[in-house]
Structure 1
């Protein structure tokens, strides 16, 4: 999978307003009501990661989840990262906010 240009990444981020591009990765931070809700989202995201065979760099503290996506083998952001970002958005953004 080939690395996307900065211009391509910025265009694609227009449809993912929660995400930013820096340090050769796309990043997002999500805040939940509590730790249980955050951990539940992380569990659901983990299943998507396995299905896509693509895994984020992520961390959480209490109710906040920080995610960074990059394709290490391409040394930057690829289509694979955007596919996972969209799957993550579908999990963490409540349906009534769509």
Structure 2
């Protein structure tokens, strides 16, 4: 998968407004209603990540999840990162989580 150029990254970030760019990663924090819901979100994200063979870094702190995406093989951000970010957003919304 090809690394996105700066213009493409800016455009794609507009479609996932809860994500912010930090260097060659995009990051998002999700606040779940409770710990059990946070774990359910992680499980659903894991399913999507496995299906895509694209795995985010996830840090779980009680009901707060910190996620980071990058495509290591490409050395930066690719379409895969933004596709998974949109899926994460849908999962979070389905579980009643907030940014």
TM-score of the pair, normalised by structure 2: 0.91
| Alignment size in residue pairs | 96
Residue 73 of structure 2 corresponds to which residue in structure 1? 73
Residue 4 of structure 1 corresponds to which residue in structure 2? 4
> What SS class does the counterpart of residue 54 from structure 1 fall into?
coil
Uncovered stretches (5+) of structure 2, i.e. residues with no partner: none
> How many Å apart are 1:94 and its aligned residue?
3.7
27-36 or 86-95: bigger deviation: 86-95
Uncovered stretches (5+) of structure 1, i.e. residues with no partner: none
CA contact (8 A) 1:9 1:21 kept: no
CA contact (8 A) 1:31 1:65 kept: yes
CA distance in 1, matches of 2:70, 2:95: 26
The two structures, once aligned, show a CA RMSD in angstroms of 1.5
Structure with the greater relative contact order (CA < 8 A, sep ≥ 6): 1 or 2?
Answer: 2
Residue 53 of structure 2 corresponds to which residue in structure 1? 53
CA distance in 1, matches of 2:92, 2:22: 22
Residue 84 of structure 1 corresponds to which residue in structure 2? 84
> What SS class does the counterpart of residue 60 from structure 1 fall into?
strand
6-15 or 21-30: bigger deviation: 6-15
> How many Å apart are 1:7 and its aligned residue?
2.2
Q: Which runs of 4+ in 1 moved over 2 A?
A: none
Residue 24 of structure 1 corresponds to which residue in structure 2? 24
